[in-house]
Chain A
Amino acid sequence: MKKVAYDPNGGKLWIRIDMTGIYFITYIYQMWAATADEHPILTKPLRQNSNELPQPDYYLIQNDYKPGEPLINFDKRVLDISFRVRKYEDDNGYKLRVSVLQGDDFNTAKVIGSSQIGYGTTATLGTDVTGKQEDILLQLTVKQD
């Protein structure tokens, strides 16, 4: 699981999801709590979309039970994005990338971390034949000065 260091005194946190490849790709994004005294999953409803429409997809990273809570509370929380990649006819390869950005406005926010599948080594379904699940996990951690 990749860690993404963020500035607790900085701007808002965003997640961006990019998908390429001629497949039916759907995904679910959710954020796991880091402590037992809060809801286990802080995303409600779970964010869900696909590569059907023009991309990228992006969301404000927030605790839906406490919108606007201080960023310091996001320490150790895990962003969990599970993809379902289903082919139609061909298995020519696909790429999935999840990026975390920080900045008050998404359009000017800076990428502070990312994780990806299919960059470098081409991702294909291979022996999974028609469809496959792919998971990308990113853990938020407070940036240490």
Chain B
Amino acid sequence: MSARKIIFILLSLISFRTSAQFKTDSTEHYLLNFSVPDMPAFKALGADPSNLLRPSDIQKFALSLSPFYSNGQGVIPRNFAVEFSPGKLASKNWTLEDYGKRKFWYNSSFSIGAIVDSGNVSSKLAVGYRFSIVRKKDDLLLNAAKRRAVFLAQQQAQLALREFKNNWIIIVHKEVPPAERAQYGAEHDKEFWDFAENKAEEYLRENPDTTLQASYNAFKKGYDTDKKKYYAAVDDLIEQFKSEHWNATRLDGAIAWVGQSRDSLIKNAGFASFNTWVTWALGIGKSSQLLLGGSFSLPRSEFKDSTFINATVNVRYYLGTSGFRGFAETQFKYQNYDNLDKSLLFNFGTEFRVAKSIWIVAEAGIDNYLKEKDPFSAFIASINLRYGFNQVMK
């Protein structure tokens, strides 16, 4: 098992969430919700006070599951979540030109989630689809000027490195027969880097050579001595782009179908609800982002005799940087069942990165403000750890 998978499982196990309002004893909800954030299939299962579909990058593949097969029959797993993007999985066969044409498929995914409540509520299975549309100028691979700058920086650094290594083979290791030089270079890459980082200057003092010296000087320009890293200029360009576009304007949308079964048999699952979300993230300056979200769902009643409606409108405002930001949110919710006509949520929180792919999201607020006599009795609070599986969360 790879280190990445182990970290993913460990993080799943240590995720936690507290709530003063949720009445369902269903810690599995939080585990599912944490494991793969903002999958439509999770959102459809309804464990989150905010119904805002937060814009996030599509996962290539993410998985959390327990047995699918039990006692000789196919069953809905107690905890099950998977998201996959066929476009990302197929992209190893794409050229960059293909990416420009098929970007929509690259940035869309399918998800499946399931929960089995510990109470008397039946099992639920949700199937979802989501997509994300980002402007060309906010995508480094499609922003021609910025992309070109990265390619040029990489080519310049690569050329300097290649010429220095060629001279290391030809001049420093002149004993290597000509027909074996290429193989020698490929097989002694570690030795070359040891020379480049630690021995070149001493060697050149004792064995002055203008050609080797010139190529070493060019190499040094691309070498970050503090970080002990080559290609630092390329890294800087990419990181700078990400930092400047964390709040990129984008449109995310999702749909999900939820099925429900009184037992855990898949064959007994019937329609429970259909859900849609759309969120428009609007970048404001370099440090703010406004999210305008809406969702609409059609749950089926217990006796299939009426049409219920559940709709929400959200506004969330972020202020901060690519690694740390705070947010304020309000949500208006309307539903015509479960004695809840209208409710209002006020939520405040923060998101900050604690490691390259690990984020802490802490939030607190007041839910159902319109209904409670003592609004503060509806206080909610949560802390989530989130792990970006295949990229740094935007």
Binding site for B on A (CB under 8 A): 1, 19-22, 24, 26-28, 30, 32-36, 40-41, 46, 48, 50-55, 76-78, 80, 82, 84, 86, 88-95, 118, 122-123, 130-131, 133, 135, 137, 139
Contact = CB atoms under 8 A, between A and B. Distances in A.
A35 B155 contact: no
Interface stretch (B36-44, B64-72, B125-133, B146-154): B146-154
22 contacts: A20-B93, A20-B95, A24-B234, A26-B151, A27-B158, A28-B159, A32-B178, A40-B181, A48-B159, A51-B96, A52-B96, A54-B95, A77-B179, A84-B158, A88-B140, A89-B57, A89-B392, A91-B390, A92-B91, A93-B91, A133-B189, A135-B186
Contacts of A131: 231, 234
A76 B88 contact: no
Nearest to A124: B92
B197 to A, nearest CB: 15
B392 A40 contact: no
B34 to A, nearest CB: 21
* A-B residue pairs, 8 tightest by C-beta: A93-B92, A89-B391, A78-B182, A34-B179, A80-B182, A32-B182, A40-B170, A76-B179
A78 B392 CA distance: 40
The dominant DSSP class at the B interface is helix
Interface residues of B, number: 43
A89 to B, nearest CB: 4
B351 to A, nearest CB: 18
A92 B88 contact: yes
B183 A137 contact: yes
Contact of A41 (B95, B106, B150, B166): B166
Interface in B151-178: 151, 154-155, 158-159, 162-163, 166, 170, 177-178
